[in-house]
């Protein structure tokens, strides 16, 4: 596809990442209002799943429910890595540490995506390996990895913050690992089944695999909590905009740009989060956390140049 025709997908990627950058603050607001991280994800994906089915029914889209054991297993993995476990780790992280810290740590996903892609491309076989972008093992990837990991260590072990925040930081890194795994397989499934169908399956398995964690959070669904304007408005934003619309657009972007190129846009997430968290939550970063965050961004960008053609 000509570079000129790809510009629209780069702009879409930028728009989606801008929305996702705000979701860290939105989720933090919901947690502060008394909602549990698991309940936030559940309502968010219920809204998105209902919305995507409404779109399918109105547009006459693919209503097939079963695509064979092998591909259903792949969709299950995608529902876990891009749905339940990703948001479980990310949302829980926000309960323990600042939204800015979570955003910067999650933005290491492109780095892990590049590493996973390099390994899977080299040792894997079949349609998923063939559909991945080519990655070079050289100084950009090695140096960027070391720099980003150093930055993560500075953020996680910042002595100026309470020890409990380290749990949140580690959970945020776990979310980044989940998203990197999601990026390995989603583009190929989107190419084969279409953006809407593939996204619908991810929503379904995300909801299915979060059910075992749903016990004991009834207070999150009480009218006193849900009835707050800040709660229902943020839930609608997360479910319909950040999940339904943005997941469909992002999966389309991955199909057109490739799993590594598209995921590199994630490093802009914390920029939007930092601006929003500073304005709405009054968050401030410590010196070491700021240095670590800058190192993460620089390392991820540096590692991203390991793609063929980046030096052209």
Q: What is the pLDDT of residue 310?
A: 38
What's the average model confidence in pLDDT over 281-290?
A: 76
Q: What is the pLDDT of residue 309?
A: 39
pTM as predicted: 0.83
Q: What is the pLDDT of residue 218?
A: 72
- Integer angstrom CA distances of residue 260 from 53, 94, 264, 267, 305: 29, 26, 6, 12, 11
- Which has more confidence, 302 or 207? 207
Across 17-170, the runs of DSSP E, i.e. the strands, are none
How does residue 159 score in pLDDT terms, banded at 50, 70 and 90? low
Q: Distance between CA atoms of 63 and 59, rounded to whole angstroms? A: 11
3-state secondary structure of 125: coil
Q: What is the pLDDT of residues 235-260, one digit of tens each?
A: 999 999 999 999 999 988 888 888 77
Question: Under a CB-based contact definition with an 8 Å cutoff, are residues 260 and 135 in contact?
Answer: yes
Evaluate if residue 225 carries a pLDDT over 80. yes
- Which has more confidence, 243 or 302? 243
Question: Under a CB-based contact definition with an 8 Å cutoff, are residues 268 and 14 in contact?
Answer: yes
Q: What is the pLDDT of residues 48-82, one digit of tens each?
A: 999 999 999 999 989 999 999 999 999 999 999 99
What's the average model confidence in pLDDT over 210-233?
A: 87
**Domain-wise residue ranges, the chain:** 3-304
- Which has more confidence, 57 or 299? 57
Provide the mean pLDDT of the chain.
85
Q: What is the pLDDT of residue 146?
A: 83
């Amino acid at each position: 596809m000509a570079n000129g025709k790809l510009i629209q997908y780069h702009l879409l990627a930028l728009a989606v990442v801008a929305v996702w950058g705000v979701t860290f603050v939105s989720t933090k607001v919901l947690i502060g209002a008394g909602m549990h991280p698991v309940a936030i994800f559940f309502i968010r994906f219920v809204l998105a799943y209902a919305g995507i089915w409404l779109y399918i029914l109105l547009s006459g889209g693919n209503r097939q429910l079963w695509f064979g054991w092998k591909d259903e297993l792949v969709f299950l993995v995608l529902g876990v890595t891009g749905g339940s476990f990703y948001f479980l780790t990310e949302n829980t992280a926000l309960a323990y540490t600042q939204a800015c810290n979570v955003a910067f740590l999650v933005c290491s996903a492109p780095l892990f995506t590049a590493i996973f892609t390099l390994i899977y491309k080299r040792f894997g076989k079949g349609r998923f390996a063939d559909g991945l972008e080519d990655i070079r093992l050289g100084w950009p990837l090695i140096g960027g990895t070391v720099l980003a990991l150093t930055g993560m260590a500075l953020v996680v072990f910042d002595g100026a913050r309470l020890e409990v925040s380290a749990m949140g930081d580690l959970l945020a890194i776990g979310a980044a690992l989940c998203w990197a795994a999601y990026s390995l397989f989603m583009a190929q499934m989107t190419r084969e089944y279409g953006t809407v169908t593939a996204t619908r399956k991810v929503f379904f398995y995300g909801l299915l695999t979060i059910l075992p964690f749903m016990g004991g959070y009834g207070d999150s669904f009480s009218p006193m909590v849900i009835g707050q304007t800040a709660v229902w408005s943020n839930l609608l934003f997360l479910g319909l905009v950040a999940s339904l619309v943005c997941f469909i657009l992002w999966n389309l972007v991955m199909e057109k740009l490739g799993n590594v190129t598209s995921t590199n846009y994630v490093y802009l997430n914390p920029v939007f989060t930092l601006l929003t968290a500073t304005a709405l939550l009054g968050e401030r970063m410590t010196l070491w956390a700021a240095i670590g965050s800058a190192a993460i961004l620089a390392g991820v960008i540096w590692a991203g140049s390991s793609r063929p053609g980046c030096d052209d």
